[in-house]
Amino acid sequence: MKKNLVEKIESLLFASPHPLTVKRLASLLECDPDEVTVGIRELQEGYRARAAGVRLNQVGNEVEIVTAPEHAELVRGFVKDETTGELTRPQLETLSVAAYRAPVTKAEIEAIRGVNCGLILRNLMIRGLITSEEMSGETRYRISLEFLRHLGFSSPQELPEYERFHGSEVIEALLSGAKGI
Amino acid sequence: MKKNLVEKIESLLFASPHPLTVKRLASLLECDPDEVTVGIRELQEGYRARAAGVRLNQVGNEVEIVTAPEHAELVRGFVKDETTGELTRPQLETLSVAAYRAPVTKAEIEAIRGVNCGLILRNLMIRGLITSEEMSGETRYRISLEFLRHLGFSSPQELPEYERFHGSEVIEALLSGAKGI
Amino acid sequence: MYEVRLEQFSGPLDLLLQLILQEELPINSVSLARVTGAYLEHLRAAEVADPNEMADFLVIAAKLLHLKSQTLLPTLESLPDEGPSLEAQLSAYRAFVEAGKHLAGILSKGRWSYPRTAPPAVPTFAPPKNLRAEHLTAAFGAILTALEPVVRFPTEAIRRVISIKEKIQRIQALVAKHAAITFRHVVGGRASKADIIVSFLALLELVKAEAIFVAQSSAFGELTLKKR
């Protein structure tokens, strides 16, 4: 791996006012995206090993450094308070599908929820709780880094029973025939 | 020393938009300023020992986390790229809404684009491409006069397709019927 | 049963799940057939505020009726392009309702992480080198194009609901005109799955209203509808 890559990634993430993608980091560091991914993992492990006051969070290809959730109350006292706002049941259902099944298409979310989800997805995008990206001609959704911060996890994979929901046979069977509604 | 004091100091310094005094830290952490000083020293040593991408700077009584001087050039390049480089697609779209729909609120821009725009608006403001003003208790955005002049116009009305875009029926319908889920 | 508001359910699957849980039934086709009547009852009593929403409820009603019709008309084949079974759909839905509750629980703990708060910056004019007015025009034009379907979104759903209502009326008229008519005749020779389902919906409704009388000559025989 390139010299000081981990530390350079740390510098850039610290200096950036917004999350950075692996691709952008690779271009700034003039190295391979795979190397960046390894560096990110190492930085993440380092923070965790020394129970640092910060964490490295990742959703999809986006990463950011944030404060450790253990100190939420302390930090909340003096930063501008942001809130998730109240979430309705349909919103929670949609967010849970986006969290556990990411990257997920609108058709898949609709197959699971049995309702048209166009408006609700739009609304969650506007609130910054989910993000979308184009992947081989399809729009796919994930929870946002912002929503992940409110959950206090470093990645969606840390969600309880992630394996069960992510790869559930029931859901695979359902989605193999999913065309939306 | 208080439990997790070093990590708590790290959380606070990381989240803070400006340097913090030892006294302020002690009051936030409900402990003795001397303990804070010891904690700061420990954090500083830790960063130095692992040649981290960040450093702890202390000037007089004020402390802050900054990027490591070794990577100053890298960070400078990144900041320059952020503040003078070409616009990303989301930035360009947001700027176009500020140009054609001015004066426009953040909520309206987000409804029109269907995506959260908080960080983008900040970036466009810093680059002087848009300006904001308070109008009857709301913050409204418009393309900056300076940037319009740079494009060769003296008012937004001179932009191509201004009449058609500004009064777009689609947007009127969207904003009048804007209902959340 | 009166003044049911469909909005109090997060969707048709939620309504269905609650009906099944109320009766403490497992999720399987027998249970689904059993709560079909109650589901339709909710739909009939419901005030329809939003056609989009009604369309979603009708899609599930159609699936339920198809399931139930297979017990009444065993000759009715499973049609191709069936998609996932309602059973599978409901099981998956239940899993994510649970997951959603987990999320709400986690959120309520307030174990939040915070990003770095950027220091206030002094704006300095730094225009992108290659940006010209036509880029702004093109970007805004693309936004408008993308918005069209969002604004016109309800039309398609309204059309779906209207067509279902129209078909129900047509079947009611047919039965009223003929003294006796077979179900096969009602649905027509080249009926689509939707036609069969809609016809069955109308049939149940008419039986319930005691407007018609249904006879079946043998166990797997044709259904004959008669005016009362």
**Mind listing the pLDDT tens digit for each residue in A30-56?**
999 999 999 999 999 999 999 999 999
SS3 of residue A85 by DSSP: coil
Q: Kindly identify which residue of chain C lies nearest to residue B163, measuring between CA atoms.
A: C137
Which H helix or E strand runs over C225? strand C223-227
Neighbours of chain C (3+ CB pairs under 8 A): A, B
Residue type (1 letter), C145? T
- CB of B138 less than 8 A from some CB of A: no
ipTM of predicted assembly, 2 dp: 0.90
How far is Cα C185 from Cα C189, in angstroms, rounded to an integer? 7
- B103 shares its domain with B169: yes
The pTM for the full model equals 0.83
Closest to A105 (Cα-Cα) out of A84, A86, A130, A88: A130
Q: What's the CA gap between A105 and A140, in Å, rounded?
A: 5
Query: What is residue B181's predicted lDDT score, i.e. its pLDDT?
Result: 35
**HSE-up of A94 (CA within 13 Å, CB side)?**
29
Cβ distance of C136 and B83 shorter than 8 Å: no
3-state secondary structure of A55: strand
C-alpha A15/C-alpha A25 separation (Å) is 12
Based on the domain organization, do B95 and B171 belong to the same domain? Answer: yes
Number of folded domains in chain A? 2
Spans of chain B, pLDDT less than 70: 1, 177-181
What is the pLDDT, as a whole number, of residue B5?
Answer: 95
Instruction: Determine the 3-state secondary structure of C115 from DSSP.
Output: strand
Structural domain ending residue among the three candidates A47, A71, A95:
A71
Tell me the shortest Cα–Cα distance from A25 to chain C, in angstroms: 18
C104 and A CB contact within 8 Å: yes
Reported confidence tier of residue A118, pLDDT bands at 50, 70, 90: confident
Shortest distance, CA B45 to any CA of chain A (angstroms): 14
Write the DSSP assignment of chain B as a string of letters: --TTHHHHHHHHHHH-SS-EEHHHHHHHHTS-HHHHHHHHHHHHHHHHHTT-SEEEEEETTEEEEEE-GGGHHHHHHHHHHHHHSPPPHHHHHHHHHHHHS-SEEHHHHHHHHTS--HHHHHHHHHTTSEEEEEETTEEEEEE-HHHHHHHT-SSGGGSTTHHHHHT-HHHHHHHHS----
Domain of A28, in residue numbers: 5-71
In angstroms, what separates the C-alpha of A81 from chain B's closest C-alpha? 12
* Whether residue A121 is found in the same domain as residue A168: yes
Q: Please indicate, yes or no, whether residues B94 and B19 belong to a single structural domain of this protein.
A: no
Q: Quick one: closest CA in A to B50, which residue?
A: A7
Contacts of A68 in chain C (CB under 8 A): 113
Q: Are residues B64 and B12 in the same domain?
A: yes
The pLDDT tens digits for C55-83 are 778 878 877 877 776 666 666 555 544 56
Within 8 A by CB and 6+ apart from C146, the residues are: B114
Residue-level pLDDT at C122:
82
Question: C159-210, pLDDT tens digit by residue?
Answer: 555 555 565 566 566 666 766 677 777 666 655 555 566 666 666 656 655 6
* Judgement on whether residues B128 and B169 belong to the same structural domain of the protein: yes
User: What pLDDT score was predicted for residue B179?
Assistant: 43
SS3 category, C112: coil
- B16/B65 same-domain check: yes
pLDDT band at A2 (very low <50, low <70, confident <90, very high): confident
Considering CB atoms only, which of B8, B15, B111 is closest to A79?
B15
Per-residue confidence (pLDDT) for residue B48, from 0 to 100 = 94
Q: Is B152 on the interface with A (CB under 8 A)?
A: no
Helix (H) or strand (E) holding A174: helix A169-176
CATH number at residue B22: 1.10.10.10
Question: What was the pLDDT predicted at C99?
Answer: 92
Give me the pLDDT at residue C1, please: 37
Q: Inter-chain contact B146–C119, Cβ cutoff 8 Å?
A: no
pLDDT at C13: 93
Nearest to C107 among A80, A84, A93 (CB): A84
Q: Which of A165-179, C37-51, C137-151 tops mean pLDDT? A: C137-151
| B77 and A13 Cβ atoms separated by less than 8 Å | no
Number of other residues whose CB lies within 10 A of the CB of residue C101: 14
Does residue A173 sit in the same domain as residue A91? yes
User: How many angstroms separate the CA of residue B154 from the nearest CA in chain A?
Assistant: 32
Q: Are residues B112 and B172 in the same domain?
A: yes
Per the CB < 8 A criterion, the answer to whether C216 and C223 are in contact is yes
pLDDT in tens, C100-121: 999 999 999 989 999 998 777 7
Contacts of B119 in chain C (CB under 8 A): none
Nearest CA to A107 out of A122, A96, A118 is that of: A118
- Range from A11-20, B24-33, C216-225 carrying the lowest mean pLDDT: C216-225
Judge if B47 and B14 occupy the same domain: yes
> Nearest chain A Cα to B108, which residue?
A126
- Contact between B10 and A66 under an 8 Å Cβ cutoff? The reply is no
